[in-house]
Chain A
Amino acid sequence: MSKEKDILNKINEMTKRMRKNILDMSLCAGSESSHFGGGLSIVEITATLFGSIMSYDPKNPEWEDRDRFILSKGHGCLGYYTALHEIGLISKDDLMKFEKTNSYLLGHPVMNRKKGIEFSNGSLGMGLSIGIGVALAAKKRKKNYKVYVLIGDGECNEGSVWEAAMAAPNFKLNNIISIVDRNNLQQTGTNKEIMSVGDIAEKWRSFAWDVIELDGHNIKELYDAFSNERNSTKPLAIIANTIKGKGFSFSENNNDWHHKIMSKSQYELAIKELEKKL
């Protein structure tokens, strides 16, 4: 039990450092701007996965038995690069080159296996299909790795998400876990205003996935959901209720921060808020 407490504490500490790094990167991106809100909503998810759940070897990033992570909502990359920094694959110097010319860290992930970036993403609705291919390859080659695919709720407007959602249970891929970052906002408004996906948990369930709904900022809930042994032949969908822009008063649930330039004064305010929590 205390071991689990230690793990949860470790993940919690990770999330604080990740948020600090996200602030630094956003400020550093300057007028190039960054997808701030959708990066912050996934921090607890990526921290839990990379901090305790997934198997990998930072010394051998291409280890063939590693668990795979696919950021289908590629614009959430701030919450991905900062997690890869936590496990030692991306240096702080490199984080600070975010969106600079010739940097390998652009505003959407560019495949770079040595740095832990499995695929290039950004065009929405494509990650789950790739994940199915990777999960099928595991079954074909009798490998035990798992495939985690993080999808946005706005992204679920894309029909291709549902082509993939239909296929995974048909192929009995119990080694793929789809996480939906349900922050209820998409680029230009709320899901409801733009294109509601309706009861999203029910939709995944009706496609024959096992479904868990949880608080996507609650590390214990995430840890339990990911670490519970499953005997199901179905794939697992985790509907993570989150807050876009989570962590800072000015950005939480404020869709202006979908993609926005950070000012120095906003940065300083955010740092103060972060320090209060530390």
Chain B
Amino acid sequence: MIIDEKSSRLWSLIGSRATFGLTILELGKKNNLMVLTADTSTSAGLDRFKKTFPEKFLDVGVAEQNLIGIAAGLASEGMNVFTATFGPFQTMRCCEQIKVHVGYMKHKICMVGLASGVVLGTLGYTHCCIEDISIMRSIPGITIISPADCTETVKATLAAIKHKNSVYIRLTGDMNQPVVFNKDYDFEIGKGIKLLDEGNIAIIATGTMVHKSLEAAKILQEKGIIAKVINIHTIKPLDEKLIHELSINSKLLVTVEEHSVIGGLGSAIADFKSTLNDAPPQLFIGLPNEYKKSGKYVDILDNYGLTSEKIAKTIENKHKSL
């Protein structure tokens, strides 16, 4: 797939789910592939794939436990298997199947959690997913990728099929996403990316919060506060080398994520950081561990301080207290 300014603009317009669909269409041309959904083919951007490669597509109906079981059976016979459904159903409805088939038996599956985070806020918290990173992190042997934008969704999907371990790809954000990467770049699973590399505050973000953190850094800069911005697209395995380096060179680490502050990126970094001598303090920015009134995506993000302005403000306040 050609990755340039034009394609990244197109993908950002159609959003991460449709971008995943286009990428899997490309993979279907030459791979020993099976793509499984649970009555979610349209939501996963898979309608073209279904038409083009009917023999490589399987809909198991609204039955996620069966989804993971069948995927594991196919994988055990050497097939490359993707599953795709909405975040909560991809990770929690079938959590024990993931534990046994993917974790315990190590059958390799690429699982894609669609519309994770709070993008589906108007549908209520049944369809939001602020727990998936936390849950998936606790199961051994699963790589967790949370792409920063649609270009990174392409890169992550292409990398996942070649990866030796099972992968959970967490798709966040809406259509008309902002672009973080408008040209091709080195994407390596488990290796964070420094987007801004100056200053003694390190903003470490994942998923949709990467772009918001870049914008927040601009606002902070106007106030004379210089911050690094790091894209941690792979939450597990965590780029410990990079986090170590940031801990040495920063007086504050800020983690920003569209996920509960329990068990997500912030927790993963705190777990590691607690093993270091003289690590700087950490500011957790994310969704609180509660199910409150839901609503439009932009409103939820605003309510919980996940806009560029509010992220900048929270960091500025913390900065004053340092």
Asked whether A and B interact, the reply is yes
Instruction: Point out residues on A near B: beta carbons under 8 Å.
Output: 111, 118-120, 123, 125-126, 128-138, 140-141, 159-160, 163-164, 166-167, 170-171
- Main secondary structure, interface of A, reads helix
Contact with B73, one of A125, A133, A141 (Cβ below 8 angstroms): A133
**B66–A129 contact, CB under 8 A?**
yes
Roughly how many angstroms separate A208 CA and B309 CA in the complex, as a whole number? 58
A170 / chain B contacts, CB cutoff of 8 Å = 61
- Rounded to whole angstroms, the CA-CA distance of A54 and B57 in the bound complex is 30
Name the residue among B66, B69, B77, B97 with the largest chain A CB count within 10 angstroms. B66
Q: Which residue of A lies closest to B70 (CB)?
A: A133
B276 within 8 A of A: no
The distance from the CB of B110 to the nearest CB of chain A, in whole angstroms, is 15
Q: Which residues of A contact B66 (CB under 8 A)?
A: 129, 132, 160, 163-164, 167
> Quick one: which of B68, B79, B97 contacts A140, CB cutoff 8 A?
B79
The complex places the Cα of A134 from the Cα of B72 at a distance, in Å, of 8
Chain B residues whose C-beta falls within 8 Å of the C-beta of A129 in the assembled complex: 65-66, 68-70, 72-73, 97
On chain A, the residues within 8 Å of B65 by CB distance are 125-126, 129, 159-160, 163
Contacts of A125 in B (CB 8 A): 65
A-B contacts, 6 of them at CB < 8 A, read A129-B73, A133-B77, A135-B73, A137-B76, A164-B69, A167-B61
Contacts A160-B65, A164-B69; A134 near B77 (Cβ below 8 A): yes
Q: How far is it, in angstroms, between the C-alpha of A167 and the C-alpha of B72 when the chains are bound? A: 15
Contact B69 A130 (CB under 8 A): yes
Q: Are B63 and A136 in contact (CB under 8 A)?
A: no
Question: When chains A and B are docked, how far (Å) is the Cα of A111 from the Cα of B96?
Answer: 17
A128 to B73, CA, bound (A): 10
Distance between Cα atoms of A187 and B105 in the complex (Å): 26
Is B100 engaged at the interface, CB distance under 8 Å to the other chain? Answer: yes
| A131: B residues at CB distance < 8 A | 73
Q: Which of B61, B68, B73, B77 lies at the interface centre, i.e. has the most chain A CB atoms within 10 A of its CB?
A: B73
Q: Which of B61, B75, B104 contacts A120 (CB 8 A)?
A: B104
Q: Closest residue of chain B to A145, judged by CB?
A: B77
Task: List residues of chain A with CB within 8 A of the CB of B71.
Answer: 133
Residue numbers in B under 8 Å from A163 (CB-CB) = 60-61, 63, 65-66
**Alpha-carbon distance between A135 and B105 when the two chains are bound, in angstroms:** 18
Contacts A119-B76, A137-B73, A164-B66 aside, 19 further interface pairs with beta carbons under 8 A come to: A111-B105, A119-B105, A123-B96, A129-B66, A129-B68, A129-B69, A130-B69, A130-B73, A133-B71, A133-B75, A133-B76, A133-B77, A134-B77, A136-B74, A137-B77, A137-B79, A160-B69, A170-B61, A171-B58
The answer for the CA separation of A116 and B29 in the assembled complex, in Å, is: 35
- Picked from B63, B76, B79, B101, the residue with its CB within 8 Å of the CB of A167 is B63
Cα distance, A97 to B68, chains bound together (Å): 33
